[in-house]
Amino acid sequence: MKKTITSLLLIIFISTLSQGQTSATTVSPNSSIVVISGDSLVLNKSSEMLDENTYWAIIENSIKNTSSQDDQEIYLIAELEKLSPKEIIGFRLRTDKLLYDTYNQELWCAAYIVNDGSTDGGFDYFRCWLISKGKDAYYSAVKNPDSILQIIDTSEEDEFEFEAFSYVAVSAFKAVTTRELFDFIDYNNFITNDENYPILKFAWNVDEPETMQKVCPKLYDRFIK
C-alpha cells in the first residue's frame, strides 16, 4: 500500500514539474528549423506562399460574407485560424508578394490622388485595401490604375486604405500557436518583401498636378480637376 501511495505521489510530482516548465523557442544553427519545447508545436521556418487560388478564394468569401472592413477583418482572422500554422504563414507571404508586385509609381500616384496624399505607410495600406477587394480588382489595377474607379463607384467608403488587413495572418497565427508569425518566416529564401522593394523613379510630382493627370487621367478628373 505504501509503495502504491509513493508511486502516486511520484507521478503527481513529475506531472506538476512538467507542467511548470517554461516553454522556449530554439532556432537551429541552419536557421531553417524552429523547435518549441514545452508543448507539441514544432515548425520549420517557411518561405512557401499559400496557393494563389486558395488565397483569393478566402478573400472572395470574405467579401461575400461581410459589409465593412471591421467585419472583413474579423472574418479573415476566423477563416485563417482554420488553417495550419504553415498555411497561415503562407497567407502572409502571399500578401507580401502581392504588395511587392504593386510597389510601383503608377499605383502610388493613384493612392495619392484618391486619398489626398500618401505616405510610405499609407501606400502600403492602400495596396492592402486593393487586395482586400479581390483578384479581379487587384489585377485590373495592376494593368490600369484608373480601373480603381470601378471599385470606388460601387463603394460607400471615403478612405481607401485597410491597415488592419496587413495583420490578419499575424493575429490568426498568434491565436493558433501563441507565437509571433514573423519568427517563422525564412527570410533567407523569401525575398519578395518590403526589405527588397525597388527604388522607384517617379514620372509625377505633386507640385506639378498635370504630371499626375498623365499617369491616372480618370482618377485625376474625378478627385482633383
What digits encode the pLDDT tens for the residues 175-188?
999 999 999 999 99
pTM for this predicted structure: 0.83
Q: Which of 5-9, 124-128, 206-210 has the lowest mean pLDDT?
A: 5-9
Q: CA distances (Å), 218 to each of 30, 130, 139, 154, 194, in order? A: 51, 17, 18, 16, 29
- Cell 515548425 identifies what position? 43
pLDDT of residue 18: 41
Q: To the nearest whole percent, how much of the chain has pLDDT over 70?
A: 82
Q: Which amino acid is at 134?
A: G
Give the helix ranges, DSSP H, for the chain: 2-20, 52-64, 69-80, 85-101, 105-114, 120-132, 135-143, 148-153, 168-177, 209-215, 217-223
Mean pLDDT of 126-149: 98
Confidence of residue 32 (pLDDT cuts 50, 70, 90): very low
